[in-house]
Structure 1
Amino acid sequence: MRIKDYGFVNQAFIKGYNGFESEMKRVPDIVKSFYQYDTAVMLTLLFYTELNDKRQGELAKDRLLALYKTIKLAL
Structure 2
Amino acid sequence: MTEDSATLHPTLVATFEKLFGPEVAANLTPDATMDDVEGWDSFSFIELVTALEDALGISFEQDELPDLTKVAAIQAAITRHLS
Computing the radius of gyration from Cα coordinates, the structure with the larger value is 1
TM-score by length of 2: 0.29
- Higher normalized helix content (fraction of residues): 1
